A and B are shown apart, each in its own frame.
Chain A
Amino acid sequence: MNDNEYDVIVVGAGCAGPAAAKKAAELGLKVLILEKSQVPGEKNVSGTCLNGAALLEPDLNYIVECPVERTIREMRTYHINSDRTTVFHEIPSKGILLLSVRRDHLDSWHTEEARKAGAEVKLSTTVVDIIEEDDYIKGVVTDSGEKFYGKVIIDAAGVNSIVGRKAGLIPKRKGQNMILYVTVAVKLGEEVINERFGDCIEYYLSPGIQYKTWPWIFPKKDTVTVGTGGYMDENLINDEFPNVNQYMENFLNLPVVKKKLEGGEIASWGLHLEYDEAIERRVRNGLILTGEAGGFVIPFLGEGMPEAFFTGIYAAKAAAEAIEAGDHSEAKLSERYEELIGENFFMQAFRHIATVNKESILTKTDEEITQMMQQVIIGGGFISNAIHTKWLKGVEEENFELIQEAYDFLELIQPYAAVDPDFENLYNERKSK
């Protein structure tokens, strides 16, 4: 193989890219990973809490060794309207529920793991085009005009990936099924965060602080990340809300939030666009789309990073088998890729819950959801919204089937609640290494 020829070229070093590059290198392939930023993770914005239930999957166990800001063990939800404020204090597991991270630290660590496994890493390198021959994607072109050739290209370049767009797989969304959210990191100092938040993430729901989403405050070591935004339809932006920053302003001005962030200083601001729908076709001859490029993000459940890790790894496995067989066709690549995704319980279950959750959120006003969530008896977050919507509808319509479905939902999420104590053990074991 020439210097610019590889078995696998991975575009993007966010969550999916390093996972794919590491796995492909471990499988003995010659791998190149290209990243546009100077430091991996510095062009990424996300919720930054890794789900323990996902990391328990053997494929993802190693991620636990990443730089962790804080172990999250509890969850609080505030439902606020003009009449009343209710607070749910949930402890879904007795152990660690989530790991709070910084993307710059996580993605840089992960890229280094890929390098250690044998992948070649090129930073500050933007991919601007693909090389296509005889209906096969054969390589990529960088901003400096360099060409790199690969038997399989793994696209992990995010929601607006040029690779996926040029290959005709990432469609223009025209404002449909999109979420736009802003984040601010507020520096408070470690002791203040220990006092005011501890190891607890918080969700908020109140008219005027979000539009069909679920604002949050996630504690890191010495800062907290505050996020909110909205579903992009014709009502997101209007005279009262000239842009999504207005939702953030209102959120930060809620008396309860103001008090919690008192004395803090905004250290940084971020913005992210998400697309809430799996892409119909995510494989072409010689190309696999992973992570957000492949539509593997679930905004209506606040999930995305585990899906990116999983699909990155699965793409590498599918690529390795295709290369071994000397067949890089769409049929060969997608058969294995889709099979691995279909077998992943975490991905399937979360996608299912998110669909119901989305349906209930989009058919109610934020006022109605707040009111409903103030009256529920279990939990207060994303998942219980999906359960309660079904439950209440069933009661209202005297439809036992819907109530049964709500029960089935509860059953379905048991693996999520069953993090205890396995994840804590895994965490301690990996961290002592």
Chain B
Amino acid sequence: MKVEMKVEYYPGETGEFIKVIEDNCVGCGECAKFCTRDVWQPDGAIYRPVNLKQCVECGACWNVCEYEAVDFSEPKGGTGVRFSYG
């Protein structure tokens, strides 16, 4: 059996629902470490949610960040990740 991360998304723009607060980011990389979807990538001395389209909205990055550098909101209504089977 082919093991793959098959994730569906609703069509439509989610908006920029995760942002880095640049002044607070120390570049520790905890956000990227706990992100299962490779959303966070290094950019110079800090990290950015570059691959936001791959996000499944779990909130691990916001929860682990000790520097208040993750601004974690919600995608626009009816957009973002769509799970089936639950």
Q: Which of B6, B33, B34 contacts A269 (CB 8 A)?
A: B6
What is the CA–CA distance of A365 and B74 in the complex, to the nearest angstrom? 37
Q: Do residues A223 and B34 form an inter-chain contact, with CB atoms below 8 A? A: no
Residues of B within 8 A of A225 (CB): 85
The yes or no answer to A372 lying at the interface (CB within 8 A) is no
Closest to B76 in A: A143
Q: Do residues B1 and A266 form an inter-chain contact, with CB atoms below 8 A? A: yes
Chain A interface residue count, Cβ-Cβ cutoff 8 angstroms: 65
Residues of A within 8 A of B5 (CB): 245, 269
Closest to A242 in B: B33
Residues of B within 8 A of A142 (CB): 77
Task: Bin the interface of chain B by size.
Answer: 35 or more
Q: Which residues of chain B have a CB within 8 Å of any CB of chain A?
A: 1-8, 10, 15, 30, 33-37, 56-60, 62-66, 72-78, 80-86
- Chain B interface, >50% SS class: loop
The yes or no answer to A249 lying at the interface (CB within 8 A) is yes
Residues of B within 8 A of A237 (CB): 33-34
Q: Do residues A243 and B36 form an inter-chain contact, with CB atoms below 8 A? A: yes
Q: Do residues B57 and A43 form an inter-chain contact, with CB atoms below 8 A? A: yes
Residues of B within 8 A of A126 (CB): 74-77
The yes or no answer to A180 lying at the interface (CB within 8 A) is yes
Residues of B within 8 A of A244 (CB): 36
Q: Do residues B34 and A36 form an inter-chain contact, with CB atoms below 8 A? A: no
B17 CB to nearest A CB, Å: 9
Q: Which of A124, A180, A262, A267 contacts B60 (CB 8 A)?
A: A180
Closest to A248 in B: B3
Q: Which of B4, B73, B76 contacts A162 (CB 8 A)?
A: B73
The yes or no answer to A385 lying at the interface (CB within 8 A) is no
Instruction: Give the 3 A-B CB pairs with smallest separation, nearest first.
Output: A103-B86, A124-B78, A160-B59
Residues of A within 8 A of B3 (CB): 184, 248-249, 252, 266
Residues of A within 8 A of B78 (CB): 36-38, 123-125
Q: Do residues A104 and B85 form an inter-chain contact, with CB atoms below 8 A? A: yes
What is the CA–CA distance of A107 and B65 in the complex, to the nearest angstrom? 31
0 or 1 for each of A161-201: is its CB under 8 Å from B? (1 = yes): 01000000000111100101011111000000000000000
